[in-house]
Amino acid sequence: MLLWQLLAEENAVQDAIELHHVIDFDGNVGQQLQILNEEAHRASPVQIVPEEEPEVLSDTPKFSCNVCLDEHPLEDVAVVEGCGHEFCRDCMKDFIESKLSDGQYPVMCPICQASRDNTGAPRGYVGRYLIDQLGFTQEQYNKWIELELNQHSMTLECRRCGSSSLVSREDFISAEIFHCPSSECDHVWCKRCGKTIEAAEDDEDDDVSHSCDGSTEFARLMSHSGWKACPGCETPIEKTEGCNHITCQVSGCNTHFCYKCGETIIRSTDNTEISAAWRSHFSADCPLYGMPL
């Protein structure tokens, strides 16, 4: 009897232990479910904590980092300007470091970058204040400054004397011609084709005329040297001697024109027709007829 009682009691204890295990196990499942729920809640896309009244979760104000989704004391917050998205300093620093090593600039806020929002909501960019706040190495800081400068300015370099200077991006974009930054060099060149632009020798107009295909320069040379282009085929012709009756020598052009006024007299190969046209031009049409060459 005693042995049976002992055995029965032992069974009861065993039962109780097993029951306790079940309770304990259930309790764990419940806890795990709760943790999963909390994580799902935290992972919900954007948590906006109003800046004026931070959500007070305990004694110290906290915020949720948009990257690691952990809660951090508010003093660890790194806020991106423009959008106000909040990150913990560690996450933001890692993010900026990876962009810096890729040489990417400007650096857009990671949430804004991932967002497919096309409603024109302002997008945030990492500014210098965040770089100052997060504390980078001197090398990383220099790299940032370099990227920042390159973004807002362009290097102007003179091919002739080798001197260079930074100009603002707006000036660079709006300019058509560049003057060498050195005061000892008078090199002027075209932004588009890079060709040197010779200053006009006649100071009639201050504008430096240039066209990338050279046609403006050629026209200026023509007018400067007194050359005329054949009105029939635009071939430049220099008259060195003889009368003002020019017969274009380009085969098939057959244009006869007046070197005085540049007008076409006739396009013909018929000598009788040509003579008549000339007489008519010099007797009436040409205002320069009779003037010295």
DSSP 153-183: EEEEE-TTT--EEEEEHHHHHH-SEEE-SST
Tell me the three state secondary structure of residue 149.
helix
- List, edge to edge, every strand of the sheet that includes 264-267: 245-247, 255-258, 264-267
Cβ closer to Zn ion: 36 or 212? Answer: 212
Instruction: Tell me: does residue 42 bind Zn ion (CB under 5 A).
Output: no
Cβ closer to Zn ion: 25 or 159? Answer: 159
Strand 62-64 to strand 71-73: parallel, antiparallel, or no bridges (unpaired)?
antiparallel
Cβ closer to Zn ion: 150 or 216? Answer: 216
Say if CB 64 and CB 87 are below 8 A apart.
no
Please report, as a single letter, which amino acid is at residue 281.
Answer: H
In 175-234, which ranges are continuous DSSP H helix?
Answer: 215-225
Cβ closer to Zn ion: 138 or 283? Answer: 283
Instruction: Tell me: does residue 200 bind Zn ion (CB under 5 A).
Output: no
Site for Zn ion in 62-121 (CB under 5 A): 65, 67-68, 80, 83, 85, 88, 91, 109, 111-112
- State the nearest-atom distance from the C-beta of 41 to Zn ion, in Å: 17
Judged by CB under 5 A, the residue of 160, 169, 224, 279 near Zn ion is: 160
CA distance 179 to 123: 38
Using the contact rule CB under 5 A, the part of the chain among 7-15, 33-41, 122-130, 220-228 near Zn ion is 122-130
For helices 89-102 and 138-152, the axis angle rounded to 10 degrees is 60
Structure tokens at 171: 């000036």
The residue among 276, 236, 280 whose CA lies nearest residue 259 is: 236
Instruction: Tell me: does residue 245 bind Zn ion (CB under 5 A).
Output: yes
- State the nearest-atom distance from the C-beta of 238 to Zn ion, in Å: 14
Q: Quick one: which H or E segment has residue 266?
A: strand 264-267
Using the contact rule CB under 5 A, the part of the chain among 2-10, 34-42, 58-66, 199-207 near Zn ion is 58-66
Using the contact rule CB under 5 A, the part of the chain among 3-11, 26-34, 94-102, 209-217 near Zn ion is 209-217
In the complex, which residues of this chain contact Zn ion (CB under 5 A)?
65, 67-68, 80, 83, 85, 88, 91, 109, 111-112, 124, 158, 160-161, 180, 182, 185, 187, 190, 192-193, 212, 230, 232-233, 243, 245, 248, 250, 253, 255, 258, 260-261, 286
